Amino acid sequence: MNKILTGLILVISAVACIGSAAAAAVPVSPSGSGATTCPTFSWGAAENSPAYRLEVYEQITTGALTHEQMQTMASPVLAREIPASALSWTPSSGQCLGDGQYVWYVKGLDAEGNGTWSEGAAFRVEPVLSSAAFDERVAAAVEKYVARQQALAAAGQAGNAIYQIVPSNITDEAGRQKAAAQLPGITPNAVPTTGASIYLEGDVSMAKTGGRVGIGTDAIGAGLHVTSNEGVLFEGAGGGAIPKEGAGARMMWYPKKEAFRAGYVSASEWDDANIGYGSTAMGGSTTASGTVSTAMGYSTTASGSQSTAMGVGTTASVLGCTAMGGSTTASGFYSTSMGYATTASGAASTAMGNSTTASGQFSTATGSFTTAASFAETVMGQYNTPPPVPGNAVTWVAEDRLFVIGNGTADNARSNAMVVLKNGNVGIGGSPSVKLDVSGTVKAAAGGAADTGMIVQGAASQTASLQEWQDSAGTVLASISPSGIFTTNAPKVRAYFSSAGTSIVNNTTTAMNFDAEAYDIGNIHDNANPSRFTVPVTGYYRMSAIVWFQTNSTGFRQLYLKRGGTVNLASALIPAVNGANTMMVITTAAYLSAGDYVEVYALQNSGGDLTAGGGSDATHFTMEYIP
């Protein structure tokens, strides 16, 4: 009995590569006797299985063998990987089994192609008995062929007729008569040998001239010349060795792996080990080693399952990916890379153009030398800049980039015309930190005399400024308050004792009369009343006082920040430090109205007067408006 081996693997896995291990599947049918030659194989579902693999063997022992034992003793006559969630499969007519005893196994595959084989299920295929009657059409075809052979012999060309087609007494399951290609010494009506049996339907004519064969034509123009309105069909039962390996030009149909090759290879690209089940490779030195993969052009490689590589030097290396053009690489699941030297390495990513890279999952990079590195990011243009902080390639992060237009001129001169973040911030000429962040000159021109040039609209309960002007360091130079007040240079002051400091009387709350200023924006320090710091605008202010008390270890030290001389804003009390100056720091923030003044007060009970140290870095007071 001829062995049949079919190995088309159709994998249905998803983008995710890592999953739970598949459970074992359970064979259901066929089992026992009475199976047809093309039985429907069915099995119970296995959890976490995106695909199944089925193998059928001729039963070689009476005892039950595990799959591991069976595969060491025989090769499968039928093998198939079933896609998606199908729980049954029926072989095609060209894959049907002959009569005999068989055993079959099934296993559920996980995302990595691993799984546990089931126990074997034995079944028997009963023989199909044929009729000895000849089909009238077969007889007519044979008669016509014999007449042609006689004519060739009469013309002195009998040597061109290499086969005599005679009818046999063998039929197939459909009742079609077989015919034997008879050589000298072969008895008609014998069972035709493999490779010598053909089906005859209707008129058939064959001829041989100078080593070339014609079917349906006398004007033979090639090694094999077929003229037929019915087309040409090549079927395979899934078995047999590869027709040819190694370098050379050829067109090859390989039934064992249901694979097709046409073109030229210079090495082992079309050897059995480099041919994927159900794959197609055409052109020059192409390799399609992945299951159901396609490689076309020159030096292309489709090694991923269900992958496609086309063009020159392209590579499609993982499940469902496509690489087209020149020197492109698709290495992310279901990714697409096209153009020249592009790389799509993120899952379901797309890279197009010249030297672009899409490494983020679901990302797209187009143009020239662009990179889309974060999740779902789209980049176009050329030479875009990388983000200040690398984006997350597989998860949506609000601060990552969503859309970028690159306008750089070289690899060392990268820049962006526009950046849109996933949180909605838009940057023109740079990365945005607010909803609209523009780097460069902005022009808002009115369309007509009655049009407003630019409108800045606040919220219903606006508290922050409507607009601000800042220097390059981000310091506020001017602002417009919610009520429309225009303010320039936020108020702030730093005052200190010039050199000698000041005396703090024992057990007396003493106002600190500062006599020098490091800066005073807004005329906060009142020189006529040197202890006072009067705020020019209403708002929140941050205040800090530092006092260095003369060395004395007796008693306590206390500081106050007071508004209007009476309202305590903050206070602090500590014991005196032994053997060193006692330094006190007090800091607070408060809401002040324009015209309010703040003073610093000190108190000590050492038993005598103490000096608060002078100098810009010693005793001092700072105050600044909080925008």
Q: Which of 587, 492, 591 is nearest to 538 (CA)?
A: 591
Q: Which of 245, 464, 267, 52 is nearest to 259 (CA)?
A: 245
Q: Output the pLDDT for position 149.
A: 58
Task: Report the alpha-carbon distance of residue 297 to residue 394 in Å, rounded.
Answer: 33
Coil vs helix vs strand at 329: strand
Q: What Rg do the C-alpha atoms of the chain give, in angstroms?
A: 45
* pLDDT in the model for residue 127: 60
pLDDT at residue number 303 = 97
pLDDT band at 10 (very low <50, low <70, confident <90, very high): very low
Q: Say if residue 122 is exposed, middle or buried (CB neighbours under 10 Å; 0-12, 13-18, 19+).
A: middle
Three-class SS state of 469? strand
Give yes or no for a contact between 40 and 23, defined as CB atoms under 8 angstroms apart. no
Q: pLDDT tens for residues 211-226?
A: 677 787 777 778 788 8
**Average of per-residue pLDDT values in the chain:** 83
The C-alpha atoms of residue 122 and residue 412 are separated, in whole angstroms, by 69
For range 61-69, the mean pLDDT: 82
Q: Which of 338, 325, 332, 395 is nearest to 366 (CA)?
A: 338
Give the tokens for residue 302: 């489709």
Nearest-angstrom CA–CA distance, 602 and 514: 13
Residue 180, pLDDT above cutoff 70: no
The confidence score (pLDDT) of residue 155 equals 58
Confidence (pLDDT) at 144: 56
Q: First-to-last CA distance in the chain?
A: 92
Residue 388: is the preceding peptide bond cis (ω within 30°)? Answer: no
- In whole angstroms, what is the distance from residue 37 CA to residue 128 CA? 9
Closest CA to 257 of 289, 287, 232: 289
> Alpha-carbon distance 505 to 478, whole Å?
43
Look at strands 301-302 and 315-316 and give their pairing. Answer: parallel
Amino acid, res. 50: P
Tell me the pLDDT band of 65, cut-offs 50, 70 and 90: confident
What is the spatial distance between Cα 122 and Cα 61, in angstroms, rounded to a whole number? 11
Rounded-to-integer distance, Cα 78 and Cα 89, Å: 12
Q: Using an 8 Å Cβ cutoff, are 236 and 247 in contact? A: no
pLDDT for residue 98 is more than 90:
no
Q: Copy the structure tokens of residue 243.
A: 């027709």
How many CB atoms are closer than 10 A to CB 474? 7
- C-alpha dihedral (562, 563, 569, 574), degrees to nearest 10: -10
Residue percentage of the chain with pLDDT more than 70: 82
Residue pair 9/278 in contact by the 8 Å Cβ criterion: yes
Do 564 and 534 form a contact (C-beta atoms < 8 A)? no
Q: How many Å apart are CA 220 and CA 204, to the nearest integer?
A: 15
For residue 366, which phi and psi values (nearest 5 degrees)?
-130, 165
Find, among 554, 553, 595, 586, the residue nearest to 568 by Cα: 586
Phi, psi of 255 (to 5 degrees): -60, -35
Cβ contacts of 393 within 8 Å, gap of 6 or more? 346, 359, 360, 361, 363, 373, 374, 375
Of 494, 491, 511, residue with least CA distance to 616 = 494
* Helix/strand/coil for 519: strand
- Asked if pLDDT for residue 15 goes beyond 80, the answer is no
Element (H, E) at 583: strand 582-592
Give 62-89 as a DSSP string: SS---HHHHHHH---SEEEEE-TT--EE
Q: Is the pLDDT of residue 8 over 80?
A: no
For residue range 244-265, what is the model confidence (pLDDT) as tens digits? 999 999 999 999 999 999 999 9
Rounded CA separation 84/3 (Å)? 28
Comparing CA positions, the residue from 8, 5, 92 lying closest to residue 291 is 8
pLDDT for the residue numbered 462:
87
What pLDDT is attached to residue 239? 76
Question: What would the pLDDT profile of 265-302 be if each residue is shown by its tens digit?
Answer: 999 999 999 999 999 999 999 999 999 999 999 999 99
Output the pLDDT for position 132.
41
> Quick one: pLDDT at residue 249?
95
- The SS3 of residue 466 is coil
Instruction: Decide: residue 448, CB within 10 A, 0-12 exposed, 13-18 middle, 19+ buried.
Output: exposed
pTM metric for this prediction: 0.49
Give dist(CA 490, CA 207) in Å, integer: 103
The answer to whether residues 596 and 487 touch, using CB atoms and an 8 Å cutoff, is no
Q: How far apart are CA 52 and CA 71, in angstroms?
A: 18
Note the pLDDT tens digit of each residue in 298-312. 999 999 999 999 999
CB count within 10 Å of CB 124 equals: 15
> Of 149-153, 319-323, 420-424, where does mean pLDDT reach its minimum?
149-153
**pLDDT value, residue 146:** 59
| CA dihedral of 414, 417, 419, 424, whole degrees rounded to 10 | 170
472 vs 336, higher pLDDT: 336
Which segment of 188-192, 516-520, 523-527, 611-615 scores lowest on mean pLDDT?
188-192
In this prediction, residue 196 has a pLDDT band, given cuts at 50, 70 and 90, of very low
Q: What is the pLDDT of residue 130?
A: 45
Domains, in order of start, for the chain: 7-125 (2.60.40.10), 136-226 (no CATH), 342-439 (no CATH), 492-626 (2.60.120.40)
What does the pLDDT average to over 55-84? 86
Q: How confident is the model at residue 36 (pLDDT cuts 50, 70, 90)?
A: confident
pLDDT in tens, 452-494: 877 888 888 888 888 888 888 887 778 888 888 877 777 999 9
77-97 confidence digits (pLDDT tens): 999 988 767 889 999 888 888
Alpha helices in 193-278 (DSSP H): none
The predicted-structure confidence for 586-611, as pLDDT tens digits, reads as follows 999 999 999 999 999 999 999 999 98
Give residue-wise pLDDT tens across range 106-125: 998 888 888 899 999 998 88
